[in-house]
């Protein structure tokens, strides 16, 4: 699915009007779409009372249409939250509401409005639309707060939850907390960016009459990974495949105390079909890793006094990079010391094979970020927000507020793929395209999940998939693994090792 910013949605509506589609028709279809979902819930749950919260713009007009439709099947009241309608379409549809529907202006009959909201079985939020930018009016803030306190009601947002900023996902003040959001034509950034995504509930996209040719030609912000995965499947080994043709991943990972990261990434890579895994690690943790990874080939390396791979091991790694591997993974549990930036930079400068930089591999290049511009190979970085903050010289709060823009800008500036991990991971490509992943859940928020992802990307690269395909497919399937584990074990109890076990069923 495409994700489209508010300005482009308005452009599409204008283009539709030029092709003969009226705004009145678009509003009627939008109202019908929300009423259809509402009617289904009313029927299934045997609900009786609906309260529609309406603003004074065209989003309020959608709400008036919804109230008219639902009045055919149940008791409906309308709360006009912030004064009388100001657009012609909203005024028209307010006048079309049947007399049996109670319509109250909050500023005139606040007690009746509060009673209608707190007594509702379904609350439909049609106060603000995609044009919301700043802060709620005092009246809207009050009515949304009241609506959120009715915990027994099903809450449905029209297009966007009121109080969330469409293009950034920011939530400056109070925000309507929806169980369902029905949006129109395309997803908007707030549906996939946090914190706004937390307020959307289950999101569905409904067509409301904008012609397909306009949608196909629109300028979109991102796409979801599912569409990419459908059109860019992973390579399937031929019947004559052998371990060499299935690729060799050189994994330079692990340190004293962090053997688990090397093991998890290695197990994931093997499960994802890498023909050979060559695991380069400090010699002190070789016995631990060897006890867990039967199928790997190990390269125990000399180490520093703090248990990290020594910079003196580079000669051995250089030969492996140039002669043995088809992809290179650097960083899972690698550790940090004064020599690590030099070692990682040397490997990056040497490699003519695709490279994944994860965890301490990312931390090692942060002081010498320009090395990314000097590489001869495609590079995929998999930072969490803290690592992204170090790469860009900002703080985690700023990264989380501007995930899409920061990832996109960094990918374009340094010519790399950025996999910015977190809820709804963003994959930014150097050509300016970006994808957001909607699989996965909070059960994956455990140490080791990122190591699994890095190993999956490494395996897909080693097998000859192009970097875009390897990164996006890995993120998508990584989330699917998390979803399967949550269903089987619960979000609280699932572990990254459970995700690795599920690979055999998902792939």
pLDDT one-digit tens code per residue, 29-39: 999 999 999 99
Whether residue 256 sits in one domain with residue 204: no
Whether residue 251 sits in one domain with residue 193: no
- CATH value at residue 261: 3.40.1190.20
Give the residue-averaged pLDDT of 297-322: 97
Whether residue 253 sits in one domain with residue 117: no
pLDDT tops 90 at residue 134:
no
Q: Is residue 115 part of a domain?
A: yes
480 close to 458: Cβ distance less than 8 angstroms: no
Whether residue 260 sits in one domain with residue 208: no
Q: Is residue 239 part of a domain?
A: no
Q: Is residue 264 part of a domain?
A: yes
Whether residue 340 sits in one domain with residue 253: yes
Whether residue 435 sits in one domain with residue 305: yes
168 close to 401: Cβ distance less than 8 angstroms: yes
Whether residue 97 sits in one domain with residue 205: yes
**Residue 507 has what DSSP assignment?**
-
Within a 10 A sphere around the Cβ of 310, how many other Cβ atoms? Answer: 16
Looking at 129-138, 183-192, 285-294, 477-486, which range is the least confident one? 129-138
Instruction: Please list, residue by residue across 148-181, b when 16 or more beta carbons sit within 10 angstroms of its beta carbon and e when fewer do.
Output: bebeebbbbbbbbbbbbbbbbbbbeebbbbbebb
Q: Is residue 346 part of a domain?
A: yes
> Phi and psi for 416 in degrees, rounded to 5?
-125, 170
Whether residue 207 sits in one domain with residue 254: no
Angle at 65 between CA 64 and CA 69, to 5 degrees: 115
Give the residue-averaged pLDDT of 420-434: 97
With a pLDDT cut of 90, the percent of the chain lying above it is 98
Give the residue-averaged pLDDT of 165-171: 95
128 close to 7: Cβ distance less than 8 angstroms: no
3-state helix, strand, coil in the chain (%, to 5): 45, 15, 35
232-267 confidence digits (pLDDT tens): 999 999 899 999 999 999 999 999 999 999 999 999
pLDDT of residue 57: 95
Give the integer Cα–Cα distance in Å for 380 and 143: 46
pLDDT of residue 63: 98
Q: Is residue 242 part of a domain?
A: no
**Residue 310 has what DSSP assignment?**
P
- Domain holding 76, by residue range, is 2-219
pLDDT tops 90 at residue 65:
yes
Give the integer Cα–Cα distance in Å for 427 and 448: 20
105 close to 93: Cβ distance less than 8 angstroms: no
118 close to 150: Cβ distance less than 8 angstroms: yes
* Residue ranges of E strands in 82-201: 102-105, 122-126, 154-158, 180-184
Give the containing element (helix H, strand E) for 222.
Answer: strand 222-224
Q: What is the CA radius of gyration of the chain?
A: 26
pLDDT tops 90 at residue 449:
yes
Q: Is residue 238 part of a domain?
A: no
Q: Is residue 262 part of a domain?
A: yes
Q: Which residues pair with 276 in a beta bridge?
A: 248
94-121 confidence digits (pLDDT tens): 999 999 999 999 999 999 999 999 999 9
Whether residue 404 sits in one domain with residue 326: yes
Give the residue-averaged pLDDT of 114-133: 97
Within a 10 A sphere around the Cβ of 322, how many other Cβ atoms? Answer: 12
Whether residue 169 sits in one domain with residue 251: no
Give the residue-averaged pLDDT of 283-290: 97
pLDDT tops 90 at residue 351:
yes
Q: Name the domain count of the chain.
A: 2
- CATH value at residue 130: 3.40.50.10260
Name the average pLDDT for the chain. Answer: 97
pLDDT of residue 302: 97
Whether residue 204 sits in one domain with residue 262: no
Give the residue-averaged pLDDT of 291-299: 97
Q: Is residue 237 part of a domain?
A: no
Helix orientation angle between 88-95 and 23-45, rounded to the nearest 10 degrees: 50
Residues with Cβ within 8 Å of residue 463, at least 6 apart in sequence: 234, 235, 237, 246, 247, 273, 274, 275, 326
What is the Cα 30 distance to its own chain's centre?
26
Give the integer Cα–Cα distance in Å for 456 and 74: 52
Q: Which residues pair with 281 in a beta bridge?
A: 300
Whether residue 265 sits in one domain with residue 174: no
């Amino acid at each position: 699915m495409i994700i489209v910013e508010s300005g482009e949605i308005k452009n599409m509506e204008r283009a539709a009007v030029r092709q003969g589609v009226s705004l009145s028709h678009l509003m009627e279809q939008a109202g019908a779409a929300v009423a259809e979902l509402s009617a289904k819930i009313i029927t299934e749950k045997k609900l009786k009372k609906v309260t529609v919260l309406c603003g004074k713009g065209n989003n309020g007009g959608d709400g008036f249409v919804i109230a008219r439709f639902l009045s055919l099947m149940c008791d409906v009241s309308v709360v006009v939250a912030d004064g009388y309608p100001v657009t012609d379409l909203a005024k028209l549809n307010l006048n079309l509401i049947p007399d049996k529907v109670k319509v109250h202006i909050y500023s005139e009959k606040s007690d009746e409005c509060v009673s209608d909201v707190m007594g509702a079985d379904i609350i439909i939020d049609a106060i603000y639309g995609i044009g919301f930018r700043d802060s709620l009016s005092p009246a809207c803030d009050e009515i949304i707060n009241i609506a959120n306190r009715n915990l027994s009601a099903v809450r449905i947002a029209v297009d966007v939850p009121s109080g969330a900023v469409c293009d950034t996902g920011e939530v400056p003040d109070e925000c309507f907390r929806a169980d369902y959001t029905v949006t129109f034509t395309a997803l908007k950034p707030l549906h996939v960016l946090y914190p706004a995504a937390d307020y959307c509930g289950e999101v569905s996209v409904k067509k409301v009459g904008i012609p397909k040719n306009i949608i196909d030609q629109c300028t979109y912000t991102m796409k979801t990974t599912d569409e990419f995965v459908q059109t860019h499947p992973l390579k399937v080994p031929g019947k004559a495949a052998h371990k060499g043709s299935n690729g060799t991943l050189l994994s330079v990972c692990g340190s004293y105390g962090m053997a688990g990261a090397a093991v998890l990434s290695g197990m994931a890579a093997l499960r994802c079909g890498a023909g050979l895994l060559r695991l380069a690690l400090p010699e002190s943790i070789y016995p631990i890793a060897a006890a867990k990874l039967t199928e790997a080939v190990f390269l125990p390396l000399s180490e520093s006094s703090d248990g990290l791979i020594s910079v003196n091991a580079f000669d051995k790694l250089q030969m492996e990079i140039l002669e043995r591997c088809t992809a290179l993974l650097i960083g899972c549990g690698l550790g940090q010391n004064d020599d690590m930036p030099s070692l990682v930079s040397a490997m990056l400068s040497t490699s003519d094979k695709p490279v994944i930089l994860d965890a301490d591999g990312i931390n090692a290049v942060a002081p010498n970020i320009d090395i990314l511009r000097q590489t001869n190979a495609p590079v995929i970085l998999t930072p969490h927000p803290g690592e992204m903050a170090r790469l860009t010289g900002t703080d985690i709060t700023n990264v989380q507020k501007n995930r899409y823009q920061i990832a996109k800008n960094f990918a374009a500036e340094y010519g790399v793929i950025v996999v910015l991990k977190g809820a709804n991971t963003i994959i930014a490509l150097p050509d300016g395209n970006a994808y957001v992943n909607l699989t996965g859940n909070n059960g994956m928020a455990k140490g080791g999940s990122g190591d699994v992802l890095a190993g999956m990307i490494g395996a897909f690269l080693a097998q000859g998939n192009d970097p875009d395909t390897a990164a996006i497919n890995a993120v998508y399937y990584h989330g699917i693994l998390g979803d399967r584990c949550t269903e089987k074990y619960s979000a609280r109890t699932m572990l990254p090792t459970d995700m690795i076990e599920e690979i055999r069923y998902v792939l």
